[in-house]
Chains A and B, each alone.
Chain A
Amino acid sequence: GAGVSQSPRYKVAKRGQDVALRCDPISGHVSLFWYQQALGQGPEFLTYFQNEAQLDKSGLPSDRFFAERPEGSVSTLKIQRTQQEDSAVYLCASSLAEVSSYEQYFGPGTRLTVT
């Protein structure tokens, strides 16, 4: 079946522009996660949704970052007034249930480059 999909796969933004990154999780998956992966580093947690509720946003680096999942399915990560330090790969993952031992399935990521 279909895995987690993300769009766009690549995004180039000029500094100061707003961007929106989309994640389509696996159908029926309750939990959805966003991670940021800088070049040569491991992914770092940004935020977590259980259905439409955002239960943890402790990893969002600033108030320029905003995520939503209004119907408990598709999620959008928005970055306002992008800065060069926002350049990274943004990964989305989903899992079947809220139990922590369930496997998280990752999408291919969106590579954001801020010029």
Chain B
Amino acid sequence: GNSVTQMEGPVTLSEEAFLTINCTYTATGYPSLFWYVQYPGEGLQLLLKATKADDKGSNKGFEATYRKETTSFHLEKGSVQVSDSAVYFCALIEGGYQKVTFGTGTKLQVIP
């Protein structure tokens, strides 16, 4: 079956530091890949997505590139802010199926 593996947290960074959260996936076909974010006390929100190999998803300064050869979709941001503190989930949807397969989440804490 499908699965998503992401780096364990928590990750603690100083403001303006560079962020990478690793994500790799296993799928039998050609999935669409997503990063969701969950801010404290709020619901899950879609942060960015990529639907085919070599696509780059980007939003709010975050980026992730769909790498089919390494089955990866690492999340990056050049300069994090305190307001980026949240839990980040890597996820996939495969083909015509509707269900999202999530990773376990990575908690990011950014300190001033």
Binding site for B on A (CB under 8 A): 3-4, 31, 33, 35, 40-45, 48, 50, 55-56, 59, 91, 93, 98, 100-101, 103-104, 106-109
Contact A43 B44 (CB under 8 A): yes
A interface majority secondary structure: loop
Closest residue of chain A to B36, judged by CB? Answer: A106
Contact A41 B98 (CB under 8 A): no
State the total of A-B contacts with C-beta under 8 angstroms. 62
Contact A109 B43 (CB under 8 A): yes
Closest residue of chain B to A95, judged by CB? Answer: B98
Min CB gap B67→A, angstroms: 19
Contact A101 B51 (CB under 8 A): yes
Residue of B43, B45, B97 with most partner-chain A CB within 10 A: B43
Of B43, B44, B99, which is within 8 A of A45 by CB? B99
Contact B42 A41 (CB under 8 A): no
> Chain B residues near A33 (CB, 8 Å)?
98-100
Contact A101 B32 (CB under 8 A): yes
Residue B61 lies at the interface, judged by CB distance under 8 Å to chain A: no
0/1 per residue, B81-110, Cβ < 8 Å to A?
000000001010111111111111100000
Q: How far is the CA of A32 from the CA of B69 in the complex (A)?
A: 33
With A100-B98, A101-B51 as given contacts, are A42 and B105 in contact (CB-CB < 8 Å)? yes
A-B contacts, 23 of them at CB < 8 A, read: A31-B98, A33-B99, A35-B102, A41-B105, A42-B4, A43-B100, A43-B102, A45-B101, A50-B98, A56-B97, A56-B98, A56-B99, A91-B44, A93-B44, A98-B98, A100-B93, A100-B94, A100-B98, A101-B32, A101-B49, A101-B51, A101-B93, A108-B42
